[in-house]
């Protein structure tokens, strides 16, 4: 029986929050004290997990699962598709006497062996080398994913090849967290702070659309491509600005409440919900959590939203651009660092030492984005995101950083000033008042792709379907490298006789000057910024094929390999996988478009054309009775318009067929992707233009597809 709003009113959040997770509270309760301590040492410090500890944890996890009626478990991982994957194994086994038993050992917990041949490897192995291993990530809690017939025990895992290469999104993320941890701890030592760990924290804001499932089921393009490939603009879109933060429709609110309950049961701290800018577009944002846990949770969020929508006869659309003419969906990734003492390293302090420390971390991030803006752009590249970036609804494809006038003025003062800056001067600059200034007078500059918003950076250019793992991985690694470089510079200045503060400011001055080009406070949507960015030497990678080439740039390969994030083979595999995925997705789109046009749009347009022909013929037969020949002329104009659009649709469809055949004949994925971006997509747009024009001419009773005005306004 489905949960109702009345049920929700009776439930106390604290009674069910996290009940479907094998969390810290449960581990304390279920595990012997020494086992718990040992496991925590593994989770927090990366200590090796003893087999005896693994066996004890596995037994406790199994008993907890059985108490909840669970019969199967899975190693839940994130292959390079960007989705999640799972293979269900039963606890059931048969003993030597032929009797059924339920078994789950430490070895079964730690490692699984799915067939890796059907997952993307980007050319790292051949099909016959199919062995791949899932390895338990103990730092991310196991959870029960409920289903209609019972739940599954999901064990968050990494996925590696037989030779140890990363075949997933999580392994590089964990590596990047480790190198940033070390670099940040080393940086803090300069300021006399001995911390045991620095953790990357993430908070992804998830945008999505909802439509009635009846409309969804009647749109082959939504089913197969996730977006509408045709569709005329309705008379009303988002121009009234009445949807953003508006009153939430009752049916949508029910969906949000049910989804949040499922998320809370998984220990996912959903914090805010609201209407977004476009009609039937919404957002869910969580409280920050550790990067790898946040990446897992965001995948769970997308899965839960889909399931709950289906339960309520709704369809969830995660595509970056499901509807033309209104805003698409993104995923703002809030990024920060927290040390083991609980301090947010991007939170400006109240003492001179804290202020200098803050500036060092801030400038390291500027250096990271400046030095590696091209590969950061590559990590967010996708077919869906190509529709958004630079379209006056999302940040442009040009990477830049917004700091706000207060911080920018401080950095400019340091760059222009003497190397020796007194402690009093640091405070006079206003850093100590920065938290209040940012809170009370925040200019958030929504057009910026990478903005400082008080105590975190907000990476706004991610697409709504994207895994947050790879953007976070590259950002972590780049910041770690920059911190290491700045530390080296500071130590060099100290050896030359400067004290810590003067050494820091000498280093800061150099890096502020070096990275000035990446800072931009203006309108990123403007044509002027495109011209200015080119003058500054900033890359403008306009589409996915162009962006992905950054994976092959020597400087990016050197950074990722030297930091121990990815090997050259692993980098190349990600390039190949993303390129292949781009080509495959567009192929699905153009094949779907061709089918819709030939089997739905063209027949309805021809039927209407025949109706108009019959009407014009009928008028001609009674022309002597009309007394005004212009009446016939006006209806003939309508026939000319309809016939012209039908002819245009036929002509552009023929060209699309010709171009897609050429694309399919290309052996090189790189050439194919470039050809698709340069030739096929414009041809698809031309087909759409004629189809959309016909939609506005053909009567409703003849048009075979739900229209925008229905999907975006009726629920």
Model pLDDT for residues 294-306, shown as the tens digit of each residue: 999 999 999 999 9
Compare 277 and 656 and report the one with higher pLDDT: 656
Q: Kindly report, residue by residue over 20-48, the tens digit of the pLDDT.
A: 999 999 999 999 999 999 999 998 888 88
**What is the pLDDT, as a whole number, of residue 421?**
47
Residue 558 lies in a domain: yes
**What is the pLDDT, as a whole number, of residue 687?**
99
**What is the pLDDT, as a whole number, of residue 5?**
52
Q: Kindly report, residue by residue over 648-704, the tens digit of the pLDDT.
A: 999 999 999 999 999 999 999 999 999 999 999 999 999 999 999 999 999 999 999
Instruction: Give Cα separations from 417 to 152, 414, 500, 510 (angstroms).
Output: 61, 5, 17, 12
**What is the pLDDT, as a whole number, of residue 439?**
45
**What is the pLDDT, as a whole number, of residue 441?**
40
Q: Are residues 110 and 158 in the same domain?
A: yes
The domain that holds 208 is classified in CATH as 3.30.590.10
> Of 168, 190, 217, at which residue does a domain stop?
168
Give me 257's structure tokens: 């409440």
Residue 487 lies in a domain: yes
Q: For residues 446 and 284, what is the distance between their CA atoms, to the nearest angstrom?
A: 18
**Beta pairing, strands 401-402 & 450-452:** parallel
Q: Are residues 492 and 611 in the same domain?
A: no
**End-to-end CA, the chain:** 23
Q: What is the mean pLDDT of the segment spanning 458-477?
A: 97
Percent of the chain with pLDDT over 70: 91
User: Residue 98: which pLDDT band, with cuts at 50, 70 and 90?
Assistant: confident
Q: Are residues 108 and 224 in the same domain?
A: no
Instruction: Give Cα separations from 491 to 485, 503, 621 (angstroms).
Output: 10, 7, 96
Domain count, the chain: 3
As a three-state string, the secondary structure of 125-175 is CCCCCCEEEEEECCCCCCEEECCCCCCEEEEEEEEEECCCCECECHHHHHH
Q: Are 295 and 467 in contact (CB under 8 A)?
A: yes
Q: Are residues 134 and 193 in the same domain?
A: no
> Of 149, 168, 187, at which residue does a domain stop?
168
**What is the pLDDT, as a whole number, of residue 323?**
97
Q: Are residues 562 and 705 in the same domain?
A: no
With DSSP H G I counted as helix, E B as strand and the rest as coil, what are the percentages for the chain, rounded to 5? 55, 15, 35
Q: Are residues 31 and 80 in the same domain?
A: yes
User: Residue 164: which pLDDT band, with cuts at 50, 70 and 90?
Assistant: confident
Residue 524 lies in a domain: no
Least Cα distance to 664 among 600, 584, 609, 604 occurs for: 584
Q: For residues 711 and 621, what is the distance between their CA atoms, to the nearest angstrom?
A: 42
**What is the pLDDT, as a whole number, of residue 351?**
66
Q: Are residues 164 and 180 in the same domain?
A: no
Compare 52 and 393 and report the one with higher pLDDT: 52
The domain that holds 139 is classified in CATH as 3.10.20.70
Give me 568's structure tokens: 């050259």
Q: Are 571 and 560 in contact (CB under 8 A)?
A: yes
Lowest mean pLDDT, pick from 180-184, 350-354, 483-487, 632-636? 350-354
Residue 76 lies in a domain: yes
Q: For residues 376 and 470, what is the distance between their CA atoms, to the nearest angstrom?
A: 9
**What is the pLDDT, as a whole number, of residue 603?**
98
Lowest mean pLDDT, pick from 267-271, 410-414, 674-678? 410-414
pTM of the model: 0.92
Q: Are residues 225 and 270 in the same domain?
A: yes
Least Cα distance to 449 among 438, 457, 437 occurs for: 457
564, exposed or middle or buried, with CB in 10 Å at 0-12, 13-18, 19+? middle
Residue 576 lies in a domain: no
Q: For residues 504 and 490, what is the distance between their CA atoms, to the nearest angstrom?
A: 6
Residue 42 lies in a domain: yes
**What is the pLDDT, as a whole number, of residue 423?**
45
Q: Kindly report, residue by residue over 244-266, the tens digit of the pLDDT.
A: 878 899 999 999 999 999 999 99
Q: For residues 395 and 284, what is the distance between their CA atoms, to the nearest angstrom?
A: 20
Give me 277's structure tokens: 């800018």
Q: Are residues 96 and 182 in the same domain?
A: no
Q: Are residues 385 and 434 in the same domain?
A: yes
Q: What is the mean pLDDT of the segment spanning 565-589?
A: 96
Q: For residues 461 and 331, what is the distance between their CA atoms, to the nearest angstrom?
A: 7
DSSP 50: P
Long-range own/partner contacts, residues 219-222 (CB < 8 A, 24 or more apart) = 219/705, 219/706, 219/711, 220/592, 220/595, 220/596, 220/600, 221/589, 221/592, 221/593, 221/596, 222/315, 222/317, 222/322
Check pLDDT > 60 for residue 427.
no
Q: What is the mean pLDDT of the segment spanning 595-618?
A: 96
User: Residue 628: which pLDDT band, with cuts at 50, 70 and 90?
Assistant: confident
Check pLDDT > 50 for residue 422.
no
Residue 123 lies in a domain: yes
User: Residue 420: which pLDDT band, with cuts at 50, 70 and 90?
Assistant: very low
> Of 139, 168, 197, at which residue does a domain stop?
168
Residue 572 lies in a domain: no
Average pLDDT over the chain reads: 90
Check pLDDT > 70 for residue 204.
yes
Q: For residues 151 and 68, what is the distance between their CA atoms, to the nearest angstrom?
A: 8
122 φ/ψ angles, rounded to the nearest 5 degrees: 60, 30
**What is the pLDDT, as a whole number, of residue 442?**
42
Q: Are residues 334 and 433 in the same domain?
A: yes
The domain that holds 605 is classified in CATH as 1.20.120.1560
Check pLDDT > 70 for residue 534.
yes
Domain with 37, as residue range(s), is: 5-168
Contacts of 324 (CB under 8 A, 6+ apart): 228, 231, 233
Q: Are residues 587 and 560 in the same domain?
A: no
Contacts of 250 (CB under 8 A, 6+ apart): none
């Amino acid at each position: 029986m489905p949960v109702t709003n009345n049920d929700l009113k009776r439930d106390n959040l604290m009674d069910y929050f996290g009940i479907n997770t094998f969390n810290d509270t449960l581990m304390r309760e279920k595990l012997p004290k020494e086992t718990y301590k040992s496991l925590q040492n593994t989770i927090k410090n990366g200590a090796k997990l003893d087999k005896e500890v693994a066996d004890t944890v596995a037994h406790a996890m199994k008993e907890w699962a059985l108490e909840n009626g669970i019969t199967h478990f899975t190693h839940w991982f994130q292959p390079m598709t960007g989705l999640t994957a799972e293979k269900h194994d039963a606890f059931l086994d048969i003993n030597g006497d032929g009797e059924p038993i339920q078994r789950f050992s430490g070895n079964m917990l730690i490692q699984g062996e799915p067939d890796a041949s059907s997952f993307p490897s980007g050319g790292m192995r051949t099909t016959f080398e199919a062995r791949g291993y899932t390895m338990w990530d103990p730092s991310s809690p196991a959870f029960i994913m409920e289903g209609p017939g019972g739940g599954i025990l999901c064990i968050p895992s990494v996925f590696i090849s037989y030779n140890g290469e990363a075949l997933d999104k999580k392994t590089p993320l964990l590596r990047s967290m480790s190198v940033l941890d070390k670099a940040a701890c080393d940086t803090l030592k300069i300021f006399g702070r001995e911390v045991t760990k620095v953790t990357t924290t993430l908070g992804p804001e998830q945008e999505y659309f909802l439509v009635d499932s009846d409309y969804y089921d009647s749109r082959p393009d939504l089913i197969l491509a996730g977006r509408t490939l045709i569709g005329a603009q309705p008379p009303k879109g988002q121009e009234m600005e009445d949807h953003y933060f508006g009153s939430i429709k009752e049916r949508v609110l029910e969906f949000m409440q049910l989804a949040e309950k499922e998320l809370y049961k998984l220990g996912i701290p959903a914090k805010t919900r609201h209407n977004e800018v476009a009609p039937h577009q919404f957002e869910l944002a969580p409280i920050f959590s550790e990067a790898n846990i946040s990446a897992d949770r965001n995948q769970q969020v997308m899965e839960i939203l889909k399931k709950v929508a289906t339960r309520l006869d709704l369809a969830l659309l995660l595509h970056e651009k499901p509807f033309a003419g209104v805003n698409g969906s993104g995923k703002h990734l809030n990024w920060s660092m927290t040390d083991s003492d609980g301090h947010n390293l991007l939170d400006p302090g109240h003492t001179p030492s804290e202020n200098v420390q803050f500036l060092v971390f801030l400038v390291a991030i500027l250096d990271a984005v400046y030095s590696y803006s091209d590969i950061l752009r590559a990590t967010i590249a996708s077919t869906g995101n190509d529709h958004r970036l630079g379209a006056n609804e999302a940040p442009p494809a040009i990477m830049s950083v917004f700091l706000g006038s207060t911080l920018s003025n401080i950095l400019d003062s340091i760059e222009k000033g003497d190397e020796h800056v007194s402690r009093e001067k640091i405070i006079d600059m206003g850093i100590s008042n920065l938290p209040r200034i940012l809170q009370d007078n925040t200019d958030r500059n929504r057009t910026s792709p990478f903005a400082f918003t008080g105590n975190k950076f907000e990476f706004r250019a991610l697409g709504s379907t994207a895994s947050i793992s790879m953007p976070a991985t590259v950002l972590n690694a780049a910041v770690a490298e920059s911190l290491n470089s700045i530390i080296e510079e500071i130590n060099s200045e100290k050896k030359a006789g400067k004290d810590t503060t003067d050494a820091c400011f000498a280093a800061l001055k150099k890096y502020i000057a070096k990275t000035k080009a990446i800072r931009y406070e203006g309108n990123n949507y403007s044509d002027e910024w495109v011209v200015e960015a080119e003058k500054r030497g900033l890359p403008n990678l306009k589409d996915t094929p162009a962006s992905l080439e950054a994976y092959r740039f020597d400087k990016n390969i050197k950074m990722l390999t030297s930091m121990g994030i990815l090997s050259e083979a692993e980098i190349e595999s990600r390039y190949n996988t993303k390129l292949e995925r781009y080509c495959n997705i567009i192929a699905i789109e153009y094949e779907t478009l061709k089918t819709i046009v030939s089997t739905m749009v063209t027949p309805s347009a021809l039927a209407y054309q025949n109706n108009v022909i019959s009407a014009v013929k009928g008028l001609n037969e009674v022309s002597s009775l009309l007394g005004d020949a212009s009446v016939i002329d006006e209806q003939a104009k309508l026939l000319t318009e309809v016939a012209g659009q039908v002819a245009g649709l036929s002509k552009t469809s023929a060209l699309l067929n010709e171009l897609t055949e050429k694309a399919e004949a290309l052996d090189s994925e790189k050439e194919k992707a470039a050809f698709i971006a340069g030739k096929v997509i414009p041809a698809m747009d031309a087909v759409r233009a004629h189809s959309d024009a016909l939609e506005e001419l053909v009567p409703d009773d003849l048009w075979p597809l739900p229209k925008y005005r229905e999907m975006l306004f009726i629920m």
